[in-house]
Structure 1
Amino acid sequence: MAKTLEHYQHLHQIPELGFVEFKTSAYIADALEVAGFKVTRNINDTTGIVAELDSGKPGPVMALRADMDALGHIIDGQLVARHTCGHDGHSSVVLATAQEVINEGVVKKGRLKILFQPAEELGTGALAMVEGGVLDDVDILLGFHVRPLEECPMGKAVPAMFYSAGATVEAVITGLPAHAARPHLGINALDAAVAAVQAVNTIHLAPNLTWSVKATRMLCDAGVTNSVPSEARVCWDLRSQFNEPMDTLKAKVINAITHSVAAMGATAEITVMKEMHAAIIDDDVTALIAESIVEVLGAEGLTEPQFTPGCEDFFHYPRQRPQVKTGFWGLGANLTPGLHHPEMRFDLDALEIGVQVFKSCVKKVLG
C-alpha cells in the first residue's frame, strides 16, 4: 500500500489538464523505467505512455489502462486544475500494479502492456492512443473507475460498468444586428437561440429507451443593452444508454436546431464537439474480473453489473479495435459528494483493493 499511496499523494498535488499532463507523465514513465519496463513516451505526439513487459514465452497480450488528466474548475474566478474524477487514483493503482507484477514475477507467458492515457475528459485521449498503435497487438484490455458512494460503497466492486453514449452539440447561431428601437431591421440571435432550445426540448425517443438531451450553455451579448444581438452560441448535452439511439438523437437535435432558427431568418453552424460511445464489454472478461473481485473481497464484495448515464472515452478502444476483448469495472471507495464535484474525496484504502484485483486478473491471464 505504501507505494500506491506515495504515487497518489504525488500525483494529487500536480493536477494537469488533458494533453498537458507533462509532470504526471514524466513521473509515471520514470517509475516504470526504474521498475524494469520497456517504456515508450509521447505516444502519437501526446503525453501518453506505453510500458511493456515481455515474458519471452508465447501467450496473449494483456493491457491495463489508466487515465491521467484532471478537470478544470472555475474557483474564485480562476480556472484551476483539480483531480475531481479520481484519475490520480486510477494512475496510482495501475502504476503500483505494474511495479508489483514485475517485482513478483507474475507474468510467466505472453506480454503485459500498461497504458497511461491523456485527455479522458476531453473525450479524445483514447483515440489518440489508438492512432498511436498501442492496441494493434493487444488481445485483452482492462480499465476501471472509482465509483460514487450511492453506486458502490467501500468494500465492494462492480464487475462491469456499462457507460452510456454521450455527445456535445454546439450551435453558433447567426442573425442580423440592429438598433433595439428598430428590431424589424434585424434578426435577433438570442430569440433564435431560445427557439432552438425549445425545439430541442420537444424531441422524443421511444419511452423504453434511456436517454436525455438538455441545453447546458448559452452565450449571447451584443455588448450593449439596446442592440439586437447578431450571434448566440448554445451547447447541448446528449446521453443515451445505447449507441444506436444516440445516432437518432443527434440527427433529431441537429434537425430541430436548423429548422427552428431558420423559421426566424437566422442560420446555425452546428458542430458535434465531443462524442463518446456506449460501453462495449466482453462477457468472458467480465467473468474474469468477477472472479478476481471475489478472490480479493469475497463473494459479498461482488455486486451486479451496473448501468450509468456517465460517459467514458475508454470505449473508443473497442469501437476502434473490435478484435480487442475489453472489460471495465468499478471500485467502491465511499466517494462523496460526487464525481466532478470540486470537493470530491474518497477512501484511499480502496486503492490497494484496486491493485489486488488487477494483479489477480494478470495472474489469471499471464501467470
Structure 2
Amino acid sequence: MSKVIKHYEYLHTIPEIGFEEVKTSAYLADQLEKAGFQTTSHVGGTTGIVGVYDSGTAGPTLALRADMDALGHVIDGVHCARHTCGHDAHSSMVLTAAEELIKEKAIQKGRLKIIFQPAEELGTGALAMIKGGAIDDVDMLLGLHIRPAEECKTGQAIPAMYYSASGTIETVIAGVPAHGARPHLGVNAIDAAVGAINAVNAIHLNPNFSYSAKATKFLCDSGVTNAIPAEAHVFWDIRAQFNSTMDELRTKVLQAIQTGAATVGAKAEAKVIKEIPAAELDEEMTAILADSIREALGDEGLLKPFSTPGGEDFFFYTREKPEIKAGFFGLGVNATPGLHHPDMHFDIEALDSGVEILKIAVKKILG
C-alpha cells in the first residue's frame, strides 16, 4: 500500500466539519513534524496547520495548500460528517508529496510551505489562514481538487481549474399581518417574496459570460392557514464566471429584491452573507502544472483548462495578495456519482498520480 493511500484511509475515518478538524489537524501536524517540517498549529486561532522546510539557499517560497474539512450531511435522519468532496484526498496527496520531497532531498533552494486549511466548505477557512499570516511570505501557491468522472477520468488531469465566483444572499421581507378574510388590510409576505423572486429571475446580463441567480430557500409561515403572513425569509445562490460579472450581478440582484418586494408594498432587507471570488491563475504556474501533468501522465493525460460554476475559497489567497503566482489543477479519479453526494466514491489508486504531479511541479520551482 502506498503512503498516500495509507494517509487517506485514516483521514477518511475521521471526518470533521469546518473549524472542528481537531483529529485531522493533529494527525497532519504530527506527520509534517516527523517529515522534518517546522510546524505551527492553530493558525489564525483555528485548526489550520502550516509547515515550513527551509533549504538554506536563497529562492522563492512555494506553498502547497490542501483543505481538510468534511461536509455535514443528514443521512437516515441523522446529522453526520462525511468526506464527500475529497478534502481527505487533497490533504493526503499534499502530505505525501511533502514527505517524499524531503526524503529525496529535492528542495535545493527557497522554502517549501505546506498549508492545511480548515473550513473550505464554509467559505471562510482561507480568510482565517490569511488573517493568521499563512501567506505573508508566500511567492507561489499551488492547489488541487479531485474531479467528477464526467469532467476528468483516472489517468487525466486539468492544468487550470477556473472556478466561478459564488455567493449567498439572505433576505428578510417584512409585510403586514391581517386576517385571511380581510387581506386588503395587510401586505402578504408570500406575495412580496414571489415578486422579489420573479424580479431576480428577470435579470439579464451579457450572455457571453456565464452567470446564474436563483432562490434556494424560502421560509414563510403565519402559524395558521387563515392569516396573512407578515414575514418571509428567502435565500439566493448567485454565481458568475468572472469577478467583474459577479459585481454587476450582485448589484442587480440586491436591487431586484428591493423593487420586487415593493410592488406589493413590502420592505426587504437583503445582505450578502457569503461570497467567494472567481479564479485568478498565473500563466507561468499553469504552464508548470501542464508540463508536470504531461511528465506524470503522458500527453494523453493532459486535458485543456476547465471552467466550472463551482466555487473554491482557495482564490481568497490571490484576491488578498494579488502578487502571489497561483496555480490550481484538477485530478481525474473517476469520482461518482458526484461531489457532495453522500455516497461519493472514487479510484483511490489515482491519488499516487496527484502526488507525482505535485512533486514534479515543486522540483521545477525549488529543485
The normalised TM-score by structure 1 is 0.98
Distance in 2 between residues matched to 1:176 and 1:11, nearest whole Å: 52
Matched, 1:237 2:245: no
Name the amino acid aligned to 1:171.
T
2: CA distance between counterparts of 1:295 and 1:266? 61
Match for 2:275: what amino acid? E
Q: CA deviation at 1:179?
A: 2.3
> More displaced, 327-336 or 127-136?
127-136
Q: Distance in 2 between matches of 1:289 and 1:204?
A: 36
Counterpart AA for 1:59:
G
% identical equivalent positions: 62
Q: 1:181 and 1:26 mapped to 2: Cα distance?
A: 62
* Cα shift readout 1:77-116 (whole Å, capped 9, x = no counterpart): 2322111111010011111111111111111111000000
2:47 aligned residue: 47
The answer to whether structure 1 residue 247 and structure 2 residue 243 are counterparts is: no
The SS at the match of 2:268 is strand
- Name the aligned partner's letter for residue 115 of structure 2: L
Counterpart code for 1:114: I
| Partner of residue 310, structure 1 | 310
Match of residue 266 from structure 2: 266
Question: 3-state DSSP class of the match of 2:56?
Answer: coil
Pairwise CA distance, 1:227: 2.0
Question: RMSD over aligned Cα, in angstroms?
Answer: 1.1
Tell me by how many angstroms 1:220 deviates: 1.2
Give 1:44 deviation, angstroms.
0.7
Counterparts of 1:150 and 1:60, CA distance in 2:
37
Of stretches 179-188 and 113-122 in structure 1, the one that deviates more from structure 2 is: 179-188
**What amino acid does structure 2 have at the position aligned with 1:77?**
G
* Alignment partner, residue 127 of structure 2: 127
SS in 2 for 1:349: helix
Is residue 81 of structure 1 aligned with residue 81 of structure 2? yes
Q: 1:277-288, aligned counterparts within 5 Å?
A: 277-288=277-288
Q: Measure how far apart 1:168 and its partner are.
A: 0.9
Q: Distance in 2 between matches of 1:272 and 1:208?
A: 25
TM-score, normalised to structure 2, is 0.98
- For the 8 Å contact 2:195–2:263, the answer to whether it is kept is no
Counterpart in the other structure of 2:3:
3
Q: How many residues align?
A: 367
Equivalence for 1:329: 329
Q: Which aligned runs of 4 or more in structure 1 are off by greater than 6 angstroms?
A: none
Per-residue Cα deviation, 1:146-186 (whole angstroms, up to 9, x for no partner): 01111111101011011111111111111122222222222
Worse-matched range after superposition: 61-70 or 255-264: 255-264
**AA paired with 2:240?**
S
Paired amino acid for 1:125: G
CA-to-aligned-CA distance 1:293-336 (integer Å, 9 cap, x gap):
11111111111111111111111111110111000000001111
Q: What secondary structure is seen at the aligned counterpart in 2 of 1:343?
A: coil
* Amino acid in structure 1 at the alignment position of 2:225: T
Local SS of the residue matching 1:147: strand
What is the distance in 1 between the residues matched to 2:274 and 2:159? 27
- Show structure 1 runs of 5+ residues with no match: none
Tell me what 2:220 maps to. Answer: 220
- SS where residue 65 of structure 1 aligns? strand
